[in-house]
Homo-oligomer: A and B are copies of this chain.
Amino acid sequence: MKATIITIGDEILIGQILDTNSRYISQQLNQLGIMVVERTSIGDDAEAIVSTLQRALSQSDVVLITGGLGPTKDDITKHTLARYFNSPLRRDDAVENHVRTMLERRGIAFNELNRSQALVPECCTVLHNAHGTAPGMWFETEGKVVVSMAGVPFEMQHLMEDSVVPRLRERFALRQIVHRTMITNGIAESILAERIAAWEEALPAELHLAYLPAPNVVRLRLSAYDVDGEQATKLIDEEFAKLYDIIPRNIIGFESVSVQELIHAKLTAEHRTLAVAESCTGGRIAEMFTAQSGASAYFLLGAVTYSNEAKVDVLGVNAATIERYGAVSEQTALEMVEGVRRITHSDYAIATTGIAGPTGGTPQKPVGTVWIAIATPSKTFAVCRDCGTDRGQIVERASAYAVRMLYDELQTL
């Protein structure tokens, strides 16, 4: 069972927005056992929509489309689909009532443009869009399915979950796709590939191996398509198990598990607490923990002490330390981490202070210099890391190093 995803909108082609819909839909389809063979983004252009839809139908059983369903003139997906399927538009009363109610609640007057949202091609099945005004549309043609959904990610996701996924499951007899990803650490991709070459060579034909390198991490993904899920998972697990003999020290876990998730679980289970004092990472580390539901059980305080005054007043850093060594220094980092641990009585603490740039660098402390300090019940220490040259990259890298350092300390817990 194959699928093509089409996202429509000039704003994608000019790079004004990032297409996150394709990714979400890909994940959903893979979970369903439907293999995505192509994802294509095109503009609000009738000719492009028609030719892309034709190609998509020639190569797949399911075509999912997002975008171009707004009430304004630049949105042409619905009219183009109506012409493609040679099906005149009809007014759907349920949709009209829904749109009217939605707008009333928001205090917006109902006008002709809103009313046009209730027009749908006669041949389609309307899918209720509980969170927006553009209905989903489900078409069937020569045993294949075409679905058109609003481009607003939130609306599309609910439509997928509430209607499209259950309907696809009902409509097709789907087998499964299994992906499993092993995460390795501390070994370069080329060395890893050399080390596991014999293992790779001997993999069963139905398993596909992919290498996904990232800073400090290489993920190994084994995939099986159109299989019995349980059997394939067992087979993959057996193959991965062999790697424990080949690269025993480099395997840190499976799937997309992140270090902050592992810390979250550990601190929660062990009833230990954490506090964070951030300068150059500006709240990013706090966000990594607080993005997880239940973080309030252990996350006592995140202090973004950007200014020297805040470092002194809130964290109790000695003004003389900053004066003498600078805000970006081992000494300041140590006093920050000790300070935030002292005022919160936390078990663990992280502090960062660095130069995120693009300004503020010096020859001695260039942009990207970051001091990261960790405090535990038994020790306090700081390390200096070069975190790159780009502001966003520096924040991400410094935050990643910091949580990794904390993670290492928790291993003995």
A residues adjacent to B (C-beta < 8 A): 10-20, 22-28, 30, 35-44, 48, 52, 70-75, 103, 106, 108-109, 111-114, 152, 154, 177, 179, 181, 188-191, 193-194, 200, 208-213, 221, 223, 256, 275-276, 278, 282-287, 289-291, 293-296, 299-307, 309-310, 313-314, 343-344, 356-359, 390-393, 395
Contact = CB atoms under 8 A, between A and B. Distances in A.
Nearest to A116: B190
B16 A36 contact: no
Nearest to A209: B74
A301 B283 contact: no
A303 B295 CA distance: 15
Nearest to A75: B211
B307 A296 contact: yes
7 contacts: A15-B23, A19-B23, A154-B393, A293-B357, A301-B303, A301-B310, A309-B344
Nearest to A390: B154
Q: How many copies does the complex hold?
A: 2
B310 A190 contact: no
A299 B290 contact: no
Contacts of A358: 293
Interface centre among A15, A276, A289 (most CB of B within 10 A): A15
A188 B152 CA distance: 15
Nearest to A29: B15
A253 B358 CA distance: 25
Contacts of A212: 11, 16-17
Contacts of A26: 12-15
B10 A15 contact: no
Contacts of A291: 282, 391-392, 395
A201 to B, nearest CB: 9
A295 B22 CA distance: 35
Contact of A16 (B40, B221, B284): B221
A212 B17 CA distance: 10
B11 A15 contact: no
A303 B302 contact: yes
B13 A193 contact: no
Contact of A282 (B20, B113, B193, B295): B295
Contacts of A36: 13-15
Nearest to A289: B282
A27 to B, nearest CB: 3
Contacts of A30: 14-15
A24 B15 contact: yes
B359 A294 contact: yes
A73 B200 contact: yes
Contacts of A19: 19, 22-23, 39
A16 B181 CA distance: 10
Nearest to A109: B191
A340 to B, nearest CB: 10
A10 B38 CA distance: 10
Contacts of A213: 70, 152
Contact of A210 (B10, B24, B189): B10
